[in-house]
Amino acid sequence: MGPAEIRDFVNSLRSTFSSIEVCCITIALSIPTIAVVEGAAFGGGLELALSCDLRICGKDAKFSLPETSLAIIPGAGGTQRLPRIVGRSRAKELIFTGRRFDAAEAVSMGVVNYCVPAGEAYQKALELAREINQKGPLAIKMAKKAINGGAEVDMTSALAVEEECYEQVLHTQDRLEGLAAFAEKRKPVYTGK
C-alpha cells in the first residue's frame, strides 16, 4: 500500500472509532458500550476496544499497539485514548516499544475491567450488561455524560457538568420509583422517564 492508501485506511479507522464514541455520547448509544477481547487485540483492534466504555477479556488475550515497529504511529485514536486510561508515561512506554502485554497486565493497568477464563468474556459482558440494565436508564445515561464531559476539563467545569447531569435526573419518574422501591424493600421498575 502506498502512503495515500494507508492514510485513507487509517483516516477511515479513526473516523469509525470516533463515530462510535460520538454516537455513544450524544445519540442512541448513550448507553455503555462493552468490548470483548478473546485472543489478540493489536493495533486497530486495541484502538477499537479503547473506544468503548468497558473492556472484558479472556485470560489468553494479548494486547499491543505495535505501529512504531512499522515506522508509523497508532492512528485510530490509540495515542489519545490509551494515555487517558493508563497515564501518559505508561502509554508512551507501550506505544514507543510496541510491547505486547497479557490479560493480567491489561487488568493491572486498567486497559480492561475484567479478565475471565478463556472463552467466557462474552458471557461476562452479557452479565455486566444485565447488571447495568437493572439501573435507572436515565441515570446511566447522565452518569456517562458527566464522566465523559468532565474527564478532560478543570474541576470547576467538571463539577458544573455533573450538576447539569444531576439536574436532568432529579425530576424523573425513575428517581421517584428508585426511592419508593428502596423504602418498600423491592426491586425498582424503571421506565426511562
Domain endpoint, select from 116, 133, 150? 133
Residues in the chain: 193
**pLDDT score at 20:** 65
In a domain, 193, yes or no: no
In a domain, 18, yes or no: yes
Residue 31 lies in a domain: yes
In the structure grid, which three cell numbers stand for residue 173, read together? 419518574
**pLDDT digit of tens for each residue in the chain (193 aa)?**
777 887 777 778 777 777 766 655 554 468 899 999 999 999 999 999 999 999 999 999 999 999 999 999 998 999 999 999 999 999 999 999 999 999 999 999 999 999 999 999 999 999 999 999 999 999 999 999 999 888 888 999 999 999 999 999 999 999 999 999 999 999 999 998 9
For residue 31, give the DSSP letter: S
The pLDDT value given to residue 3: 78
Same domain, 94 and 152: no
CB 168 within 8 A of CB 156: no
**Together in a domain, 86 and 72:** yes
Model's pTM, two decimal places? 0.80
For residues 59 and 127, state if they share a domain: yes
Q: In the chain, how many domains are there?
A: 2
Residue 191 within a domain: no
Domain endpoint, select from 113, 133, 153? 133
Does 75 fall in a domain? yes
pLDDT at 28: 47
| Residues contacting residue 101 through CB under 8 Å, at least 6 positions apart | 62, 63, 64, 94, 109, 111
Is 47 one of the catalytic residues?
yes
* 39 and 128 belong to one structural domain: yes
The DSSP code sequence of 70-128 is GT----SSHHHHHHHHH-HHHHHHHHHH---EEHHHHHHHTS-SEEESTT-HHHHHHHH
Per-residue confidence (pLDDT) for residue 174, from 0 to 100: 93
Identify whether residues 120 and 166 lie together within a single domain. Answer: no
Q: d(Cα 84, Cα 153) in Å, to the nearest integer?
A: 13
Establish if 188 belongs to a structural domain: no
Domain-located, residue 60: yes
Alpha-carbon span 28 to 25, nearest angstrom: 8
Write down the catalytic residue from 5, 21, 67, 120: 67
In a shared domain, residues 104 and 151 = no
Domain shared by 179 and 86, yes or no: no
Q: What is the pLDDT of residue 23?
A: 55
* Domain around 151: 137-183
pLDDT the model gives residue 21: 62
**CATH number for the domain including 165?**
1.10.12.10
**Calpha distance 43→70 (Å, rounded):** 11
pLDDT confidence of residue 1: 72
Tell me whether residue 67 is one of the annotated catalytic residues: yes
Angle at the Cα of 96 from the Cα atoms of 152 and 33, rounded to 5 degrees: 45
Catalytic-role residue among 5, 21, 47, 164: 47
Residue 40: per-residue pLDDT: 97
**Would you say residue 44 lies in a domain?**
yes
Contact between 117 and 58 (Cβ < 8 Å): yes
Q: The domain spanning residue 64 has which CATH number?
A: 3.90.226.10
**CB burial string 20-42: b at 16+ within 10 A, e below:** bbeebeeeeebebbbbbbbeebb
Residues 115 and 178 in one domain: no
Same domain, 129 and 150: no
